């Protein structure tokens, strides 16, 4: 039985289990696939209601990059933009802004709304090559404050 057929069968079971007889499923060779898909759908639905809101700050370590070249900032820009499409992060919304410290060194702020809790080790590549990432978890009431903070000196770019 195809994966799509199993998905449809689970949906049908969840909608109509009180009025239809589905006992054949549990004695057939698809019982394991059905059980797996049933749990997957429940897990996915439970995640839909839970959102995590983070503000990330990406900085460049002066010891790793004493001089900031346009090439370095372009690579970091691309890396930060690419985070929006990382499926493992389960991102719902992603916005970022590039700002400059008084000494002219760039740094980036990102507002990420995700269905999955973020761990700093997800960004080990960036940390090892470029600098640090500060991750602060926030609640939905703080979202406006974060947007106001991010937009104080530059235009916010929304990718997702």
1 pLDDT band, cuts 50/70/90, is low
Computed over every residue of the chain, the mean pLDDT equals 80
Judge contact between 110 and 93, C-beta under 8 A. Answer: no
pLDDT higher than 60, residue 46? no
Distance CA 50, CA 137 (A): 14
Please enumerate in sequence order all residues whose Cβ is within 8 A of that of 58, keeping only pairs 6 or more positions apart, or say none.
76, 80, 107, 108, 109, 110, 126, 130, 131, 132, 133
What DSSP assignment string belongs to 75-123? HHHHHHHHGGG-GGG-EEEEEEEEEE-TTS-EEEEEEEEESS---GGGG
Residue with tokens 């503000």: 55
CATH 3.30.70.1910 in the chain, residue ranges: 52-158
Token pair listed for 32:
């394991």
To the nearest 10 degrees (0 to 180), the angle between helices 3-16 and 31-48 is 70
pLDDT of residue 61: 93
pTM: 0.64
- Closest C-alpha among 118, 115, 72, 112 to residue 96: 112
Distance CA 70, CA 135 (A): 25
96-139 confidence digits (pLDDT tens): 888 888 888 999 988 888 888 888 888 888 899 999 988 888 77
Domain 52-158: assigned CATH number: 3.30.70.1910
User: What are the φ/ψ torsions at residue 21 (nearest 5 degrees)?
Assistant: -95, 115
Token pair listed for 21:
């007889």
- 7 vs 24: which has the higher pLDDT: 7
List the beta bridge partners of residue 138.
Answer: 53
pLDDT of residue 63: 93
pLDDT of residue 149: 76
Q: Which residue pairs from 21-25 have beta carbons closer than 8 angstroms and sit at least 24 positions apart in sequence?
A: none
């Amino acid at each position: 039985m195809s994966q799509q057929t199993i998905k449809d069968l689970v949906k049908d079971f969840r909608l109509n289990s009180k009025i239809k007889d589905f006992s054949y499923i549990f004695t057939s060779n698809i019982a394991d696939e059905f059980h797996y898909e049933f749990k997957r759908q429940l897990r996915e639905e439970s995640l839909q209601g839970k959102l995590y809101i983070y503000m990330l700050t990406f900085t460049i370590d002066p010891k790793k990059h004493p001089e900031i070249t346009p090439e370095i900032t372009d690579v970091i820009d691309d890396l930060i933009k690419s985070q929006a499409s990382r499926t493992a992060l389960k991102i719902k919304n992603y916005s970022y802004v590039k700002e400059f410290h008084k000494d002219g060194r760039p740094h980036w702020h990102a507002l990420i709304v995700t269905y999955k809790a973020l761990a700093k080790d997800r960004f080990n590549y960036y940390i090892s090559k470029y600098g640090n990432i500060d991750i602060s978890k926030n609640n939905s009431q703080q979202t406006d404050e974060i947007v106001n903070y991010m937009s104080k000196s530059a235009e916010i770019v929304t990718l997702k």
